[in-house]
Amino acid sequence: MYNLETYRPIKLDDLVRLGREYDGGYVVSRRQVEKTDILLSFGINDDWSFETDFEKLQRIEMFAYDYSVSNKYKINEIRDYFGCMLGSLFVLRRSKVKEYWRKIFEIKQNLNRLHGYFQKKYGRHFIPKYLGDSDNDQYVSFHTIFTELSGAGKLSVFIKMDIEGAEYTALPHLSPYFDKINGLAIEFHGLNQGKAFEETTKLLLNDYYVAHIHANNSCGHIINSLLPMVIEITFIHKSMLPSENAEPSTLKYPVKGLDFPNMKTLDDIVLNFS
């Protein structure tokens, strides 16, 4: 079981929330935003409020990756719902027909929103792939991404990541590019499953401080502990502030005005640092 004290944030006076309240928003340092030329976003689903707010503060080029909202994936999903709808028509289950039709309509609406926002002419690129440790029709690796971004300057990249547990496979391949990345906002999943979280974050903590931390309340605590099952951590590159200024934060987490429960109907999880 991980030690929460390892992830105590440092004291920063320029924290800002980007993205909507509740699920989808993250807290970052303004100095990271100001340093960023390129935003890499892994896992967007139907919410790009973080990316939108980031762009309002800093002129950037953004690249968003998510196979689960690609045309190919969603067309198959529509076909499945359409088949279910026809089956419900056959047995005269009209309420189910309406439900499946509503889902099809929502998928089409979200695809229209996605392609309306992510347009290359505005510097917003959507890549219909998952992040992985290799490359194929559905996955792209950090090696390929940063090869294509070969002109990225020192600490000019910020990464947002919510990829449902795949972070533990992908992140170990990121270390060759730390000199280009000023920070990361990551949602870590399955913190009760072995040492993956500790091993992965240990790698990051060699080069980064924790700028902010927030527990996702949707999955509760690890059994027989006060530690959250899912947690959001923002990292800031150590070179962005002198080591003598890296004092431990004395804030109470969640921070009022910055943090909100991921699920509105549940109380937020308090993180108690010793």
Q: How big is the chain, counted in residues? A: 274
**What DSSP designation does 247 have?**
P
H or E element at residue 253: none
Distance of CA 265 to the CA centre of its chain: 22
Mean pLDDT on 20-33? 94
- 246-255 pLDDT, tens digit each: 899 999 999 9
User: Which pLDDT band holds residue 200 (cuts at 50, 70, 90)?
Assistant: very high
Q: Which of 68, 61, 163, 77 is nearest to 118 (CA)?
A: 61
Topology of 4-70+128-245 in CATH?
Answer: Rossmann fold (3.40.50)
Contacts of 45 (CB under 8 A, 6+ apart): 66, 68, 69
Q: Which of 206, 193, 203 is nearest to 1 (CA)?
A: 193
Contact status, residue 20 vs residue 223, Cβ threshold 8 Å = no
Q: Which of 186, 139, 154, 177 is nearest to 41 (CA)?
A: 186
Domain spans, the chain:
4-70+128-245
For the CA atoms of 62, 166, 183, 58, the dihedral, rounded to the nearest 10 degrees, stands at 20
Helix (H, G, I), strand (E, B) or coil at 181: strand
Cis (ω within 30 of 0) for the bond into 128? no
- 49-91 pLDDT, tens digit each: 999 999 999 999 999 999 888 656 555 555 554 455 555 555 5
pLDDT at 155: 96
* Model confidence, pTM: 0.89
The fraction of the chain above a pLDDT of 90, given in percent, is 65
H or E element at residue 148: helix 142-148
- Whether 245 shows a pLDDT value over 90: the answer reads no
Residue 80: CB atoms within 10 A of its CB come to 13
- Whether 96 shows a pLDDT value over 90: the answer reads no
